[in-house]
Amino acid sequence: MRNGGSRFKLGLSVLLLGLNLRWPLLAGQPPEFPAGPTGKGNLIFKLENDVWLDQDDGYTNGLFLGWVSPPLEEKSKSSWLRFLYRLNTRLLGSETRIESPDNSRGQEASGQRWAAMSIAQGMFTPADLTREDIISDDRPYAGLLLASLTLVRNSGRTQTSWGGGLGVVGPLSLAEAAQKWLHRTYGWTEPRGWPNQLKNEPVVDIWVSRFWTVLGSEEQEKGWYPALKAGLGGQLGNLMTGLEAMLDFRFGLNVQPGQEVLLPAPLFNSIPLTGVKRTSIYAFCQVTGRALARNLLIEGNTFVSSHGQSLRHFYGQLTSGLTYESQQAALSFYAAIRTKEFKGQKYFDPYFGLSLSLAL
């Protein structure tokens, strides 16, 4: 895999160029989002699983528990929130000024900033759970436990995010115990191959993305209308290394495209940020293309010998669903399917997901 990284140099250059462009045609003052009833942020729970599709292979289960700060301010009463604000401005840039129509210096386009902290667990298995031996032509059993911090900045019609995760792959992820308990509880097939799972390995990943609202309301107008976001992102680490591009289309009532951050994280690629001033209901469809140089969960451990498969360096994913948002809560139900991720893969990897966000 050391040789594979060189093919992404051009793509990385394009990504960095895109993240640093001003894109003046997309400039403007971003909509303001409320901080919630008590101003303590939002609590988020997410579940992704393929059991509703009568499948149990590939990416078979994911759990996410997170907290999103209220909009960060320099003069916040909380020292913790002030620290997150300073970290956000250091990594995502300080305030900038936009030009007014008469070419004079206009108002400060600071936008809004957030921080999100989370812990997530993912389970990955081959298709045949009854076999105790290593299945040479299928992916390895793997569990991932990852704690992460994501920083977000909305400025004009541009959204920038930076994140980092620290965790472990292997028995310490507790994926084996969690899946066996779940299957015993509901009388499902006992997964017998976990003794062959990837070995314990600490993992570190960082990611960055920038999205532009190409189509959508800036003034939080009331009514039914579409919204379109386009973005670039990348991640680097011994867990995953690669680039991605995404289109996100939404249509519905009072759509606010800046309310959610989309990011190239190893698990769970979107986080609702806060409530909205007007109740919103919409359908969405996301198309993602990824170019990966490294995926430990498929290729196996980095520093010791383990079972693994040859990675398909390019794959795509389609995600669609329905979302309800208010000032107090957000609820989303979605389905996702991705193209094959490793050479010789005999099955596709669809799953359903549920996301619930509650204002504190």
Per DSSP (E only), the strands in the chain are 42-49, 58-68, 97-99, 105-108, 112-125, 142-155, 158-169, 201-215, 224-237, 240-253, 260-262, 270-272, 280-295, 314-325, 329-338, 351-359
Nearest CA among 140, 137, 170, 164 for reference residue 150: 164
DSSP 98-146: EE-TTSSEEEE---EEEEEEEEEEEEEE-S-TT--S--TTSPPPEEEEE
pLDDT attached to residue 54? 80
Exposed, middle or buried: residue 130 (CB in 10 Å: 0-12, 13-18, 19+)?
Answer: exposed
pLDDT attached to residue 241? 97
pLDDT attached to residue 10? 42
What is the rounded distance in angstroms from the CA atom of residue 83 to the CA atom of residue 78?
A: 9
Residues in the chain: 360
Q: Are 144 and 167 in contact (CB under 8 A)?
A: yes
pLDDT attached to residue 27? 42
Nearest CA among 254, 252, 257, 250 for reference residue 222: 254
Q: Which amino acid is at 114?
A: W
Exposed, middle or buried: residue 152 (CB in 10 Å: 0-12, 13-18, 19+)?
Answer: buried
pLDDT attached to residue 321? 97
Q: What is the largest CA-CA distance in the chain?
A: 72
> Residues with Cβ < 8 Å from 159, sequence gap 6 or more?
152, 153, 210, 211, 212, 213, 229, 231, 258, 261, 262
pLDDT attached to residue 292? 96
Q: How far apart, in Å, are the Cα atoms of 196 and each of 145, 146, 305, 346, 356?
A: 18, 21, 12, 20, 34
Mean pLDDT across the chain, nearest whole number? 87
Q: Which amino acid is at 14?
A: V
Residues in the chain, pLDDT under 70: 1-38, 95-110, 217-221
Q: Are 141 and 198 in contact (CB under 8 A)?
A: yes
Q: Is 264 helix (H, G, I), strand (E, B) or coil?
A: coil
Given the structure tokens 């690669």, which residue do they identify?
242
pTM value?
0.86
Q: How many domains does the chain have?
A: 1
Backbone angles phi, psi at 11, to 5 degrees: -60, -40
Given the structure tokens 């379109």, which residue do they identify?
228
> Residues with Cβ < 8 Å from 138, sequence gap 6 or more?
126, 127, 128, 309, 345, 346
Q: Could you tell me the CATH number of the domain that includes residue 317?
A: 2.40.128.140
> Residues with Cβ < 8 Å from 309, sequence gap 6 or more?
137, 138, 139, 140, 298, 299, 342, 343, 344, 345
pLDDT tens column, 148-194:
999 999 988 999 999 999 999 999 999 999 999 999 998 899 999 99
pLDDT tens column, 64-96:
999 999 999 999 999 999 999 999 999 998 865
Q: Are 166 and 147 in contact (CB under 8 A)?
A: yes
Q: Which amino acid is at 251?
A: F
Range of the domain at 67: 4-359
What is the rounded distance in angstroms from the CA atom of residue 157 to the CA atom of residue 213?
A: 5
Nearest CA among 316, 312, 288 for reference residue 298: 312
